[in-house]
Structure 1
């Protein structure tokens, strides 16, 4: 069976619209595509105030997302992260600053961060896989050791 589309759904506890607006402000070619409100019907089950935001659909550089205000039942985890491949150090610095602002300082390591909404991101250079799997095993090993000691990845420090 062909796959028509793949959409990422992020579970939030009441701040899906704020998160979507934050992400859209950071990534180019991005937009909010829709907002749906909780209906009165089913409120005895969903326990949400009718008229409050249920879902926010948005696109980040062509990738589609749904932000769901599902409540406190589920928490976001670093077991799932979004990898932002950057062309150069300036891009790494930009995304690290914008996504990391207000986030969990303890989660910052090896290019990973958790933003202020709890979503995990990997801010990495496009060249990272090549650096870490270089045919020169000594060079690859030095790149790995260097990366493991970093919070934000510094490209010059990997080579």
Structure 2
């Protein structure tokens, strides 16, 4: 069992969210589920909580109602090896009402924030050459979905 597990509070659509995320990320599985019973504060039979795994990372979900919506203060980074992966995750997570934001950030249809990030970006923006890293950073700041080829061109001064 992993030491720290993110717990996500949903407004009664956690089971739908698990199915949505499991359809996007490979190596997904539901580990356990519990449901509200008779006399509970939510409708009987509604998912209470579940633990599931996406790409080896465990998450817990809770159907708790509308009191605590997601904010941009917490986001999940998806590290992508190539543009095909960036495009794949971007299109799937913005589907059905998700919103593009800026600099590789998006909000999915549940309001959860994600950063779809090429693994090469960290190398570029942390380069010891301030001109190279600055050009990559400036290019990134102008993008919505990140374009690896354009980032590399900026980084290389092309």
TM-score, structure 2 normalization = 0.90
More moved, 87-96 vs 3-12: 3-12
Question: How far apart are the structure 2 equivalents of 1:127 and 1:141?
Answer: 15
Q: Deviations over 1:138-159 (max 9, x none)?
A: 1111111100000000011112
Structure 2 counterpart of 1:19: 17
Alpha-carbon distance in 1 for matches of 2:96, 2:147? 21
Confirm or deny: 8 A CA contact 1:31 1:60 kept in the other structure. yes
Q: 1:143 aligns with which of 124, 133, 136?
A: 136
Structure 2 residue aligned with 1:57:
51
Q: Which residue of 2 aligns with 1:128?
A: 121
Shift of 1:6: 1.4
Q: CA 1:104–1:29 in structure 2 vs 1: closer, same or farther (change >3 Å)?
A: closer
Q: CA deviation at 1:8?
A: 1.1
1:91-130 pair list within 5 angstroms: 91-105=85-99, 107-130=100-123
Hey, what's the Cα distance between the residues in 2 that align with 1:60 and 1:54? 19
In the alignment, structure 2 segments of 5+ residues that lack a partner are 153-158
**Structure 1: how far apart are the matches of 2:97 and 2:70?**
13
Distance 1:51 1:101 in 2: 28
**How many positions carry a matched residue from both structures?**
152
Structure 1 residues 8-48: Cα deviation after superposition (integer angstroms, max 9, x where no partner): 1100001000000111111111112222101235x2xxx21
Question: Residue 81 in 1 paired to residue 75 in 2?
Answer: yes
Q: Scaled by the length of structure 1, what TM-score is found?
A: 0.90
**What is the root-mean-square deviation of aligned Cα atoms in Å?**
1.5
Pick closer, same or farther for the CA change 1:4–1:24 going to 2, 3 Å: closer
Question: Matches of 2:20 and 2:62 in 1, distance apart?
Answer: 15
